[in-house]
Amino acid sequence: MSRILDASACHNLLRSFLAEDIGSGDITTKTTVPAAQRARGEVIAKAPLVLAGIELFMEVFRLLDVTTTAEIFSQDGEELAPGKVPARVNASARALLTGERVALNLLQRLSGVATLTRRFVRAIEGTRAEILDTRKTTPGLRALEKYAVRVGGGRNHRKDLGEAVLIKENHIRLAGGVAAALTAAQAAKGRAAWIEIEVTNLDELGAALTHHPDVILLDNMSPLLVRQAVDVVRKSSAPKNIRTEASGGITLDNVREFAEAGVDWISVGALTHSAPAVDISFEIEPE
């Protein structure tokens, strides 16, 4: 679990998910299934997918039954074809039934994020660009969803507001302009991993370059305008290590155009806010 969260944080999160779903108790399972009944559950991919969250899936059942045993045949990051069985779990039948929905929701959600991320990464293969996520994550699931992005081959952008400075249009408006915002942001230079500013046109880009930010976010620009902006950055007298990032309106249909425009980063909010859950089933039988 260390690749996602430390054990304590992971258990606390999963317990909160279980508490939400179980409520005052799983009355259906308790009234229909004997307490001593053991069962085996089999995870089955029903569609092509990139697996993410299989250890979390198993941890749900371990929290409900300490005698749970698991057989994991596929690791996170593996591409599964329909019909593939990545894991089996043996536990109390009650534990499998009570934890099924939470475990499956997480596995389907995280595998969906990883699967969509892999599609974006594949779409730009051979270019210099990298696919990044955003903070457009599900509240409470950010660490898990950002883990799934990494599993899919993407990179994480800011994990939270305290990691880096990212000056967006509302900051610029309230600060009094691009120059004023970047000048003020220098106060965070020792604490921030990087200082980044969003620009929407070439005039704003020129103003930003005079203050040497670490990253310039080219927001909602066409691929042609992004190419022009990248050329401006490269020909400017600003430090040559300034990164460029494209964001806004990025889809699988146009992401390669943005990558070929020469940017370093392409951030895609859809990786986490719009990734569809993949089709995975969990079939339980008596042991």
CB-based contact 258:241 (threshold 8 Å): no
CB-based contact 198:167 (threshold 8 Å): yes
Cα gap 135→273, rounded to integer Å? 9
- For residue 146, indicate whether it is catalytic: no
Which entry of 59, 65, 133, 198 is annotated as an active-site residue? 198
Which entry of 76, 133, 204, 219 is annotated as an active-site residue? 219
In sequence order, what are the residues at sequence separation of 6 or more whose Cβ sits closer than 8 angstroms to the Cβ of residue 19?
none
- For residue 168, indicate whether it is catalytic: yes
Which entry of 168, 173, 189, 191 is annotated as an active-site residue? 168
Residue with tokens 């305008």: 225
Which entry of 101, 135, 142, 243 is annotated as an active-site residue? 101
Which entry of 38, 46, 135, 136 is annotated as an active-site residue? 136
CB-based contact 155:121 (threshold 8 Å): no
Residue 38 has what DSSP assignment?
Answer: E
- For residue 135, indicate whether it is catalytic: no
- For residue 198, indicate whether it is catalytic: yes
Cα gap 131→137, rounded to integer Å? 16
CB-based contact 109:56 (threshold 8 Å): no
- For residue 84, indicate whether it is catalytic: no
Reported in sequence order, the residue ranges of 81-200 that DSSP labels E, i.e. its strands, are: 87-92, 130-132, 165-167, 195-199
Q: Which residues are catalytic?
A: 101, 136, 168, 198, 219
